[in-house]
Amino acid sequence: MIRLLLAVFLLIGLFVAGPLMAQDEWGEIVIPPQKPIKIGVGTMLTGDYASMGIDIKNGAEMAILEKGTIHGHPIQLQAEDDGCAGPPSVAIAEKFCNDPLIVGVIGYMCSGGSKPASDIHNKYKVVMISPSSTAEELTKRNIPVFFRTCWNDIIQAKRAADFAIHKGFKRVAVIHDKSDYGQSLAEAFLKGIKEKGGEIVATEGITRGDKDFTPVLTKIKPLKPQLIYFGGMAAEGVLIVRQMKRAGIQADFMSDDGCFTEKDFIQAGGKAAIGSYITYAQEPSPQWVERFEKKYGPRQTFSPQAYDATVVLMSAIEKVAKKKEDGGLVIGKKALRDQVAKTEIDGVTGPIKFDPNGDRTGSVVAIYQVVEEKGKAFFKKLDF
């Protein structure tokens, strides 16, 4: 009886999801005349990392406003709150992919959201370009519609490890926040250090949201590391760097782009943050920063990547969109994906090209050091 019922339900479901036939292998998006081309942005708009998420939205919005129209059609941004987690990201992926005017999506913000959402996008074949999801698995799974303008964890951590060895740090302690992001970075970093002949004296996990890390630090202190690498976000990173100094650890501090924020790391860290090494993208051009900050105020972390992702998407749409006689546009989904894959432009974060998996190629990660000059602390790019 139950099976019969289920079968009936499933049959009803089958009728709803009839396959669409179209010229493009993956189907086509048709923008009727006078209608806008919509670009979805999936990012965190409320909650813990909302400031980072709104920064991403602003970057995308700025690119869209500067571009204005594509073949006479206005471009419209639709930002949705992806909550930096699986369930809400999946929900809005369904929303975007079922919206007939959405051509492509910038997002999602966190890897935990991008992983399940990319499966949905792959089902509907809607291109997504993430400005900030760095997990290695995203590009390892052979999902053709996924691209990112940031780096993956392996690239970033390897670069950090190369730099640490180059600087002569042989004894290294690694701390991470037991998050997808922090742990992946920390593991790749210690692998990089070991390969280059360095020694890992300790690997410790902490919990996000904790405030007191003295137990971990006092455990590390007698091991006398030359460098402490932290995989995680600024909220914990800045506390570690301050408590390190208080515990009397002489080691240098190094961390990832999660700590590349002026407000939460440099200002909150004060004197203790001076001298820390941070890995992050190439600093965007000063003119771009000026334009951005005039409109939105101080920038956070991923707005340049979001800006670049949006530019990549829009120029690909412009190239593959075909005008219909009535003034509407036809965009082939496969054609759009292939065009994004072929991208070769100079973005604000440096030259942009994708490898066959959707990862950005070339050296996109730079090393910065927090320095104080003329009474003002800032991130200074190091030559490496």
Q: How far is the CB of 242 from other proteins (least distance, A)?
A: 25
Residue 99 or residue 162: which is nearer to other proteins going by CB? 99
By rule CB under 8 A, what string of x and - marks binding of each residue 65-94 to other proteins?
Answer: --------------xxx---xxx--xx--x
Cα(239)–Cα(312) distance, rounded to whole angstroms?
A: 37
Beta bridge partner(s), residue 4: none
Could you say which residues in the range 29-58 bind other proteins, by CB under 8 A? 45-47, 50, 54
Q: Is 13 in the site for other proteins (CB under 8 A)?
A: yes
Residue 270 or residue 297: which is nearer to other proteins going by CB? 297
- Contact segment (CB under 8 A) with other proteins among 12-20, 190-198, 291-299, 341-349 equals 12-20
CA angle at 281 for the pair 279 and 287, rounded to the nearest 5°: 130
Separation of CA 55 from chain center: 12
Q: Is 299 in the site for other proteins (CB under 8 A)?
A: no
Contact between 175 and 233 under an 8 Å Cβ cutoff? The reply is no
By rule CB under 8 A, what string of x and - marks binding of each residue 91-130 to other proteins?
Answer: x--xx-xxx------------x--xx--x---x-------
Cα(98)–Cα(118) distance, rounded to whole angstroms?
A: 14
Q: Is 191 in the site for other proteins (CB under 8 A)?
A: no
Could you say which residues in the range 235-254 bind other proteins, by CB under 8 A? none
Residue 86 or residue 327: which is nearer to other proteins going by CB? 86
- DSSP for 348-382? TTEEE-B-TTSPBPS--EEEEEEEEETTEEEEEE-
Residue 141 or residue 194: which is nearer to other proteins going by CB? 141
What are the angstrom distances between the C-alpha of 214 and each of 206, 207, 255, 268, 295? 11, 13, 18, 18, 41
Q: Which helix (H) or strand (E) holds 115?
A: helix 111-124
128-148: b or e for each residue (b if 16 or more CB lie within 10 Å)? bbbbbbbbbebbeeebbbbbb
Could you say which residues in the range 164-183 bind other proteins, by CB under 8 A? 178-180, 183
Beta bridge partner(s), residue 372: 377
Beta bridge partner(s), residue 252: 227
Could you say which residues in the range 196-225 bind other proteins, by CB under 8 A? 205
State the residues that interact with other proteins by CB under 8 A. 2-3, 5-7, 9-10, 12-13, 16-17, 45-47, 50, 54, 79-81, 85-87, 90-91, 94-95, 97-99, 112, 115-116, 119, 123, 135, 137, 141, 178-180, 183-184, 205
